[in-house]
Amino acid sequence: MAKKCFTFLLLAGLCLSVNAQKKTIAVIGSSTAAGYGLPDVNGNPMQNAWSNENNDDPVNSWANRLRRYYNNLNLLNELDNFAIYGEDIYQAQEAGYVPGISGRPLPDPDNNTTKALSVNPDIVLINFPSNNYDTYGIHEVMSRFRDLYGQITANGHTACYICTTQPRTSVEYDIPNRMKLKELRDSILAEYPANSIDFYSSIVDSAIESSPGVPNDNYLGILPQFGQGDGIHLNEAGHAMLYNAVLARNMIPIASLPLAVKNITIKRLDQQHISVTFTVLDANTEKEFFIWIKDKTGNTKSVRVVIPDKTKNTQTITETIQIY
């Protein structure tokens, strides 16, 4: 069955999800991937668990936004998030890996490539943005990313995407170390042009001066509107930027196809709901629809629409949608 969908921004755009096979996604990483500090459904920040047991709780982490997006499009088998606060790329190495440099951590069996591959994923996302990069050298970090990429793709089935570094302004990240994060971002993008995701550019404070002649103390740090205030972690708005960066990679492609509709009307019912009414001109039993809604903060939501009367070629449909 073909699946058609339209996106409502300022105007209605049209796209098609072509009977894609559902995918399994695995995530390994540190606190950003785990959603550290973000609120759960009850508004409580997730800050007290140093395991991967609560990664599903931060409602608007980039990983959970991604899960909702692909679930709503009926394209996701499962998303397994193994990320653990505070860990780094050495702990992500496959079982049995022994670091060649003294003092580097051993692999963590709960958050490494062996664990990720145990769920037979189609896609693995690696998100280790900054932990210990003030100590590790650039060549060392890139070598470990090459190890991870090779371990994940060796089976010939699993695709791997490396999320870049992120800006950081905690005490140990002075200007030279912030520059190192920028250089690592550039190196990852250059080495993996089709398999990297830029988690840096949209959230970095690139202003050298806070005002004319006054140095910006936050230069190459996290833009204030995207940080939790600790110089390390991102708030929900920051995670929305990362989520958009993942979507832009188009890991599960959605191709374009025209769809004939007319008389599109969008009405706000209350603070949480809108009503969308439209006339479908080519409705038949071979089609179902997804309405995509994007709000002003960049959050995207899709809603499955089943054609109510399969005997009519033309009909008007009204859907009530809960928005973010």
What CATH number is attached to the domain comprising 179?
3.40.50.1110
Phi-psi region of 37 (alpha: psi -120 to 50; beta: other; left: phi over 0): left
142 and 191 together in one domain: yes
Mean pLDDT in residue range 202-224 = 95
Which among 248, 272, 289 is the end of a domain?
248
Kindly report the backbone phi and psi dihedral angles of residue 86, in degrees, each rounded to the nearest multiple of 5, phi listed first.
80, -5
What is the share, in percent, of the chain residues with pLDDT greater than 90?
65
> 316: exposed, middle or buried (C-beta count within 10 Å: 0-12, 13-18, 19+)?
middle
For the whole model, what pTM was predicted?
Answer: 0.76
290 and 272 together in one domain: yes
82 and 224 together in one domain: yes
Residue 1 pLDDT = 41
Q: Looking at the predicted structure, is the pLDDT value of residue 181 above 80?
A: yes
* Residue 105 pLDDT grade (very low, low, confident, very high; cuts 50, 70, 90): very high
Which among 223, 248, 273 is the end of a domain?
248
166 and 308 together in one domain: no
- Cα 91 to Cα 107, 117, 143, 178, 181, distances in angstroms: 4, 15, 14, 22, 19
Residue 47 pLDDT = 82
* Residue 282 pLDDT grade (very low, low, confident, very high; cuts 50, 70, 90): low
Query: What tokens appear for 184 in the block?
Result: 């690592």
Q: Using alpha carbons only, how large is the chain's radius of gyration in Å?
A: 22
For the chain, the helix, strand and coil percentages under 3-state DSSP, each to the nearest 5: 20, 25, 50
Is 292 in contact with 72 (CB distance < 8 Å)?
no
Q: What confidence tens digit (pLDDT) does each residue in 221-252 have?
A: 999 999 999 999 999 999 999 999 999 898 99
Highest average pLDDT, of 208-212, 271-275, 315-319, comes from 208-212
Q: Looking at the predicted structure, is the pLDDT value of residue 294 above 70?
A: no
228 and 266 together in one domain: no
30 and 169 together in one domain: yes
* Residue 318 pLDDT grade (very low, low, confident, very high; cuts 50, 70, 90): confident
What is the share, in percent, of the chain residues with pLDDT greater than 70?
79
Number of separate domains in the chain:
2
35 and 1 together in one domain: no
119 and 207 together in one domain: yes
230 and 258 together in one domain: no
Q: How far is Cα 239 from Cα 126, in angstroms, rounded to an integer?
A: 15
Range of the domain at 163: 21-248
* Residue 290 pLDDT grade (very low, low, confident, very high; cuts 50, 70, 90): low
Q: How far is Cα 74 from Cα 70, in angstroms, rounded to an integer?
A: 6
154 and 40 together in one domain: yes
Report the first-to-last Cα separation within the chain, whole angstroms: 29
Dihedral angle computed from the Cα positions of residues 174, 176, 181 and 185, in that order, rounded to the nearest 10 degrees = 150
152 and 277 together in one domain: no
Which among 201, 232, 248 is the end of a domain?
248
| Nearest CA-CA partner of 85 in 145, 133, 34 | 34
Is 293 in contact with 321 (CB distance < 8 Å)?
yes
197 and 48 together in one domain: yes
Greatest alpha-carbon pair distance for the chain in Å reads: 71
